Amino acid sequence: MGHYIEVEPNVKVFVEDIGEGKPLIFIHGWPVSHKMFEYQQTELPKHGYRFIGIDLRGYGKSDAPWSGYDYDTMASDVHAVVTKLELQDAALAGFSMGGPIAIRYLANHKDNPISQLILLGAAAPSFTQREEYPYGLEKSGVDDIISNLKKDRPGMLKDFGGMFFHQDMSDAFNEWFLHLGLTGTPHATIHSAEALRDEDGRVDLASVHVPTLILHGKHDEICPFDFTSVLKEGIAESKLVAFENSGHGLVFEETEKVNQEILKFLQT
């Protein structure tokens, strides 16, 4: 079942809503859509969970206004979805850019019904280097990405996909994954890259007061595994599971292990 939910006047986001039971809300990464969680959507409802996949504004089937691609606005959109669906005792999962957005949601909206947090290859707490945080890309590296998006978006996203995986994926899979990225609206893709470059979510970590599962690929070239040490230190009740055979795309490279770890965590 799909819902269109108005998150602000004249802006609606699309939400896939499958199964029954404890709600599991999934927030996708840059620059794809909720469809990246295909192998969670087909598995987790079998175990008595309700899969809720949000297409962030600008992506998938959601509206794409010119502005609002900062983490505060994206987190507000998540809050609008959670409120409209009247969710209770929900788990929130964020992949890559979806990770810091999920954390910002918990920081900004204290009246939330989230009882567990899952971070998958999260671009958190900061995607780029800054003072006392030597991890990730330099801001100039994201400037290069933005410049290439403006010149040759398909070429840039194909190169990005090439960095995404540690394992060899099939040609058909790589074509599908590129297409998923190309469904993102061009201006949303650029503005979200600017948010990834500029946002610093380190202060948000202290606002996470729920049990948190951190899943991260050891060979991640996009969100380095070093991020997890900062997350683990900053989130009081957190558990880290390393994925030895994955890059950034752990949900595709070690799908069965991802699903098993999520189910084990939800049942604790």
Give the Cα-Cα-Cα angle 131, 133, 135 (nearest 5 degrees). Answer: 135
| Count of residues in the chain | 268
Indicate which residues carry an active-site annotation.
96, 220, 248
Angle between helix 71-84 and 98-108 (nearest 10) = 70
The rounded distance, in Å, linking the Cα atoms of 166 and 189 is 24
Q: What b-and-e string marks burial along 193-211, b requiring 16 or more CB atoms within 10 Å of the CB?
A: bebbbebebeebbebbebb
Q: What is the spatial distance between Cα 48 and Cα 167, in angstroms, rounded to a whole number? A: 31
> Could you tell me which residues come within 8 angstroms of residue 35 by beta carbon, excluding any fewer than 6 positions away?
28, 53, 60, 180
State the residue for tokens 């269109």.
4
